[in-house]
Amino acid sequence: MHKFGRAFLILFSALVAFSAQAQEGGIENLRQTGKAFAKVARAVSPSVAYIQVESRSGGTSQLRSPFDEQWPFDDDFLRRFFGDEFPGIPRPEAPGDEQRVLGQGSGFVFATSKSADSTYIVTNNHVVANADKITVKFQDGSEFDAKVKGGDSKSDIAVIEIEETGLPVLSLGDSAKLEVGEWVVAIGNPFGLSYTLTVGVVSAKGRTRLGISDYEDFIQTDAAINPGNSGGPLVNLDSEVVGMNTAIFSRSGGYMGVGFAIPINLAKVIANQLIEQGEVTRGFLGIVIQPLTRELAQSFDLEETQGILIAQVTEDSPAQKAGLRQGDVIVSYRGQPVKDVGSFRNQVSLTPPGSQERLIIIRDGKKKTISVTIGTLTEDKLVTEGSGPTQNVEELGLTVQTLTDELADMFNVKAGQGVVVTAVAPGSIAAQTGIETGMVITQINREPVKNAEEFKQAVNASRAERRILLLVQKGDMRQYIVLRW
């Protein structure tokens, strides 16, 4: 055989051998991955609770529970974990005669108390809210009656208690260290199919403003989550809980690749307070905040958009006493950068009342450190977000009117401190940026505006830049809005 032919055969044989070896190596890697998931299942499943709930009263909840009179899967946006005609989840009867309503969910062993001979199980508040009877089952067949130790509807976290101490407590990980793309495993009871394991990755972190609960900082995952998974653990490959499965985005009522879990760092703080106090105490600053958009940053002569903008400071609040002002930009809290409104709000709420904390703000282009003593949030402190001369600003599409004493009383402001929007042209610049009839404009370009004539003059003075910064008020809420034309 020709030397070239022999060399070709040797090379071909080597490639075949290498390909076979590589294929075997790939299969072995898959075997090891599968064994890793199996190891997680063995470690975690004994601590996962299958929760059955029974109620004889409808009740209402901010988050839809299995006891709501309106069936959950009639909602086309975020569908709760209690399905429509699923096994073990009968549809509630129509209002009228008292009917027994059943529901189900998941949970996991969070802590034990030897002094009380009790085990504490963490789940979602919407799973057990309004329950008259709660039954908890485990993988080994054991079954217990449970009672609610405490629930927090604002974070959708609850703790239930059973009289047993021999159950394994799950290890908690650090959700702050999770990375997008990292493997995670969800274990729960979808459709009544107990101890089901699904696998996926962390799709995103820090999801807020979803309308699921008041305090949001969700982990997004593509691990399959379905009705009945609610309250179950989301764990990493070290069998550590990194989140609690809470909601899904679905148009069909089932898995569509988008699920949300409460980070365990948030859940454990709430759960510990519920166990120790039976309720949650939250920190309070007394400010209304909004995102620092590029337009707002330019209006405040800032080069970067990192941080959040203070739109309002509550009178006699910790923020006011510390010297914070409307228009300040908060860029750091407790030594950590402030990235968005949702995460900052969560950080403040989890800060123990009475503690003294440092904020770094930007005021008039200069950084300044402010020390503030955190207050206690109570229900009365909760804020989320006529006649007289008029001016029609055609290029903006709105008409404003000077505030008379009667109008000032109506809109809860002081006379001579702003103008009220009396008309907004459909499709105009003002309408597109959210200006509404009844809003009160108190500042233009960070200067007070006292009447409709001053408002018109300020707009005319801004024609060269074709941009104005407004401070508007609606009810008790204030926010900055940039208009461009």
List, by residue number, the catalytic residues: 126, 156, 230
330 CB-side CA count, 13 A: 36
What is the SS3 assignment for the chain? Answer: CCHHHHHHHHHHHHHHHHHHHHHHHHHHHHHHHHHHHHHHHHHHHHHEEEEEEEECCCCCCCCCCCCCCCCHHHCCCEECCCCCCECCECCCCCCCCCCCEEEEEEEEEEEEECCCCEEEEEEEHHHHCCCCEEEEECCCCCEEEEEEEEEECCCCEEEEEECCCCCCCCCECCHHHCCCCCEEEEEECHHHCCCEEEEEEEEEEEECCCCCCCCCCEEEECCCCCCCCCCCEEECCCCCEEEEEEEEECCCCCCCCCEEEEEHHHHHHHHHHHHHHCCCCCEECCEEEEECCHHHHHHCCCCCCCCEEEEEECCCCHHHHHCCCCCCEEEEECCEECCCHHHHHHHHHCCCCCCEEEEEEEECCEEEEEEEECEECCHHHCCCCCCCCEEEECCCCEEEEECCHHHHHHHCCCCCCCEEEEEECCCCHHHHCCCCCCCEEEEECCEECCCHHHHHHHHHHCCCCCEEEEEEEECCEEEEEEEEC
Torsional class of 355: left (φ above 0), alpha (ψ -120 to 50), beta (otherwise)? beta
* Nearest-angstrom CA–CA distance, 121 and 267: 12
Distance from C-alpha of 416 to C-alpha of 404, rounded to nearest angstrom: 7
Cα(256)–Cα(11) distance, rounded to whole angstroms?
48
